[in-house]
Amino acid sequence: MVLLSLVLVTAVLPGTGILDLFGGEGAHAAQDGIQLTLREDLTVRAEAYWPVFMELTSDSDAIALSIDGDGAAEAEVRLFPLDAPSERLDMNEDKGSLTGLLHEVSSGLLMVTFTAAGIYEVVAEALDAEGRQTEQTAVTIMINESVPRLFGEPSLGPWGEGWSNEAEAGSELGFALSAPIEQWEGADWGTYYNWTISVICPTGMNVGGDLSAYNSGDLRIDRSALNSTSAVSAWENGFNTVFYTAWEGEGGNLLSGTAAMTPNAKELTMGAGTYDEWAKGSWSPSGAGTLKFNHPGHYVAVISVSDPDGPVSRPLVLETTVA
């Protein structure tokens, strides 16, 4: 998991809207009313096109939300409840800023996606019954510049039972992926790329052990580690067997790992068509697999193509609520 480069400022000053950059006693004492907090434990990368999570709590019936900064008008804001699919918030653009109203939201997560690098200020204001501001809280976040991309955002195709926004515990959701060429640089034949997958669950996940033990092909291995892992990522490896993602870490709110390579070994060693596409600059990465969810929760899967230095495509964001 890539370390985040973030700037976080939180302030709550009744009726003033003035930011307390040093987080003094007065600001902390007022935070019982309304708070907006960056959830670094749910954020994979602070980068354009990657989702950033913020937690909003308030005892007000109405909240005014605004986003300022170059590129703010293109940002997408989604309300992310723990027990239902996320919903895109209706935000209005005015002179480069986004504004919107939230009603009857005492607490919840916001999933914000920016499309440009820059410094953004996200402000939440508690409103009284007459629509007057009573308190304000703000987060300032720096979104990093995207590195040059070889490939565009992966697209989703059917695999297995297909993907769904709702599922039952113990079920598997399938997917097939491909990513279009955006800037082919004529990489040497034999270069492997990988699918990198991160799974996010705000209520936490468990990992039963080192899942790479199941990549040996030995079917006699006790499967208790798989069955006790909240989210199990399994990929087709080109030889009619699966490749399990070994999660980095033993649990928490965010699991990341490198999954099956592309082109796979079969395509690289036996596929004359793969070499021809590569030589002509028309080759694109592809993959297929499943995510099995053993425990209830609201999950987000963030998938991208990567090389040893990090992502070389925009991410594909999938979500499902598991009951």
- The pTM score is 0.86
Q: Residues 260-303: pLDDT tens digits?
A: 889 988 888 877 788 888 888 888 999 999 999 999 999 999 99
Classify each residue of 41-66 as buried b or exposed e, where b means 16 or more C-beta atoms within 10 Å of its C-beta: ebbbbbbbbbbbbbbbbbebebbbbb
Length of the chain: 323
CATH architecture of the domain covering 25-143? Sandwich (2.60)
Q: CA 49 → CA 146, 157, 177, 225, distances in Å?
A: 9, 20, 18, 33
Question: Per-residue pLDDT for 210 more than 70?
Answer: yes
Q: Where are the domains of the chain?
A: 25-143, 155-322
- pLDDT above 90 covers what percent of the chain? 59
Question: Per-residue pLDDT for 20 more than 50?
Answer: no
pLDDT of residue 189: 82
